[in-house]
Copies of this chain bind each other. A is one copy, B any other.
Amino acid sequence: MNWGQAAQDRLSEIARHSADPDGVTRFPFTPEHGAALDVIRSWMSLAGMSSRMDASGTLIGRKEGPIGSKTFLIGSHQDSVRNGGRYDGIMGIALGCLAMQKLSDAGTELPFSVEILAFADEEGVRFPTALMGPRALAGTFDPSVLTMTDKDGQTLGDALTAFGGDPRKVSQLSRDPSDVLGYLEMHIEQGPVLEIEDAPLGIVTGICGIERNAVTFTGETGHAGTVPMQSRRDALVAASGFISEVFDAAQAVPDLRATVGTISLHPNVVNAVPGRAELTLEIRSLSDAARKSFAEVTRTMGQRISQDRNVGFSSVRTYEQPAVPCDKDLTKTLELAVTRSCSTAPRLPSGATHDASAMADLCPISMLFVRCRDGVSHKPEEFASDADMDAAIQAVASFLTNLDL
């Protein structure tokens, strides 16, 4: 059997369950979600696994190990962004099922139970929350999110009930950490590093911490014709100096990412000096210390630039999420498994958040990245090759076989 081609075929098949024909649009607790779970059940069955949906809407496939053995978890999410691709999320479930099927076909008996977790919602597009499934397992679920509503006014709790879940029982799903061996997630990289390194697979060192800052420069507006250059207190000019300097400084810090993604001017008209510029600065790093230190550097920059340009400056941290390191032992075992079939296994941080970040509150985590074409994700053009997915299936089968737990 060509496992990589099988993965490609399965992802093409399940991509049809989409609310929109342009790419994949599959939100949680929708008819598309239901149809996708039917397909995933068939994948689990082919891998010799039983399946059931838990109260939070997570479809769980289980291959029972010896009596009294513990359980290793493999997970990812079934949902997509609007007009997303065929790989983000769902690929991890497909590859997990195929790796288990490959072991089953070979008659390999593992000394532990394995569960494949098809989480309902990681993207957080339908409701202003996400990660309910893994949080429930980790015991970090906050029931207040059940009252959050989608754009049609339906609550998350009602949508879950209508889907066959049970909002009242989500808090009872938490697992006993002593029964869980660890967690593995496979995901497309969503970035260009593996392509640049010419590597099919990458070993994730951890999930970057994130902070967001609301940065404001306040000058003085005025007529673009009547205020001489020397009299201006142009907020955009100050903001521009800041944006350039932050970018250049971030390049000098290993594995740090700093992004000014939005800017808003007041009054924002062609013939007025901008009096206020508001921008967002997001900083990500696997090192929380490096991230915080860089944020301080940007504040110093902003103060200096605003003094030079005679404008006001403020920077307020509006959001913060600490980094989640991957487990050293699982990561080493994964790296060994990858190098059995690939000549190189680059280590890299995950700049994006994943289900694994919530699972880290339950057990040791590990992540395997699969190269994606041009680093593109969240678009219909998202693509991973048969060969790269085949390598991932081989590596995970080998990883499970060689787990020394």
Q: A residues bordering B, Cβ < 8 Å?
A: 189-193, 196, 208, 210, 212, 222-232, 234, 236-237, 239-244, 247, 250-251, 255-263, 265, 268-274, 280, 282, 284, 350-353, 375, 377-378
Contact = CB atoms under 8 A, between A and B. Distances in A.
Contact of A274 (B190, B250, B261, B350): B261
Contact of A191 (B189, B222, B243): B222
A190 B231 CA distance: 13
B247 A237 contact: yes
B260 A271 contact: no
Q: How many identical chains are in the complex?
A: 2
Contacts of A265: 261-263
A374 to B, nearest CB: 9
Nearest to A243: B240
A263 B261 contact: no
The 9 A-B pairs with the shortest beta carbon distances in the complex, nearest first, are A225-B351, A191-B226, A240-B240, A224-B259, A240-B243, A226-B351, A190-B226, A225-B352, A229-B251
A contact patch SS: mixed
A392 to B, nearest CB: 18
Of residues A256, A258, A260, which shows the largest number of chain B Cβ atoms within 10 Å of its Cβ?
Answer: A260
A225 B375 CA distance: 12
Nearest to A234: B247
A244 B251 contact: no
Contacts of A223: 190-191, 351-352, 377-378
Contacts of A208: 225
24 contacts: A189-B226, A190-B226, A191-B223, A191-B226, A191-B227, A192-B228, A224-B351, A225-B353, A226-B350, A226-B377, A227-B375, A228-B257, A229-B256, A229-B257, A232-B247, A234-B259, A236-B260, A237-B260, A240-B240, A240-B241, A244-B244, A261-B269, A261-B274, A262-B268
Of residues A208, A255, A284, which shows the largest number of chain B Cβ atoms within 10 Å of its Cβ?
Answer: A284
B225 A210 contact: yes
A364 to B, nearest CB: 22
A258 B353 CA distance: 43
Contacts of A250: 229
